């Protein structure tokens, strides 16, 4: 019995040392930091998504957004942003924390300049607040985590906290403008 356990332990040890282990760490950004790190903040609708290979050979998706409102910075009628991952042919490349956008989706996009002067979402998925349409034509956005406002002032963020109900788009845009002006708490 000891020999079997010894062989099993050695085999397990060899298996673990032969492969490469990797891990991901996901750090959330505070809402004010997302706003201040943004070069441009726009609300709009996705009109096109195309996967391309970058100069380095990575797969990226170029997302075209029809701009409905500019909340910070400047933007034209259309803005393009890049996100890691996408589908080229029969191959799908996925990166944890990277948003997957689809044509027709509406959102508020927090964008910053990246390599090649392209726009990238701040904090990847954290820089995109999706707009959901509800019955009666109400457009709502999930509110950001604001300590003491939409969650407790200290401690963990609690799932289902009643202070984190959907926020009308106009109210969310006002909050962004307050943070841009430096007047939000």
pLDDT at 110: 96
Name the residue range of residue 171's domain. Answer: 25-181
Average pLDDT over residues 67-94: 92
Q: Residue 147 in contact with residue 153, Cβ under 8 Å?
A: yes
Any domain includes 17: no
Higher-confidence position of 160 and 181: 181
Instruction: Please tell me the total count of domains within the chain.
Output: 1
- Max mean pLDDT range (114-118, 140-144, 160-164): 114-118
Cβ–Cβ under 8 Å, residues 122 and 42: no
Q: Are 109 and 46 in contact (CB under 8 A)?
A: no
Residue 7 placed within a domain: no
Residue-averaged pLDDT of the chain: 82
Q: Which of 10-14, 27-31, 119-123 has the lowest mean pLDDT?
A: 10-14
Length of the chain: 185
3 in any annotated domain? no
What is the pLDDT, as a whole number, of residue 45?
Answer: 97
Q: What CATH number does residue 121 fall under?
A: 2.40.50
pLDDT in the model for residue 72: 94
Does pLDDT of 149 surpass 60?
no
90/79 Cα distance (integer angstroms):
28
Q: How confident is the model at residue 137 (pLDDT cuts 50, 70, 90)?
A: confident
């Amino acid at each position: 019995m000891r020999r079997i356990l010894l062989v099993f332990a050695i085999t397990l040890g060899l298996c673990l040392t032969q492969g490469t282990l990797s891990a991901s760490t996901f750090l959330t950004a505070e809402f004010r930091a997302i706003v201040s790190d943004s070069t441009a903040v726009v609300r709009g609708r996705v009109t096109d998504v195309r996967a391309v290979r970058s100069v380095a050979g990575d797969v990226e998706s170029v997302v075209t957004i029809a701009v409905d409102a500019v909340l910070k910075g400047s933007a034209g009628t259309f803005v393009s942003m890049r996100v890691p991952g996408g589908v080229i042919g029969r191959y799908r490349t996925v990166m944890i924390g990277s948003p997957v956008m689809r044509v027709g989706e509406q959102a508020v996009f927090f964008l910053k300049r990246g390599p090649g002067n392209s726009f990238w979402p701040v904090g990847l998925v954290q820089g995109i607040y999706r707009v959901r349409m509800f019955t009666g034509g109400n457009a709502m956005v999930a509110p950001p985590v604001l300590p003491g406002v939409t969650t407790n002032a200290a401690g963990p963020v609690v799932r289902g906290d009643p202070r984190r109900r959907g926020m009308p788009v106009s109210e969310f845009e006002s909050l962004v403008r307050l943070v841009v002006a430096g007047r939000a708490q």
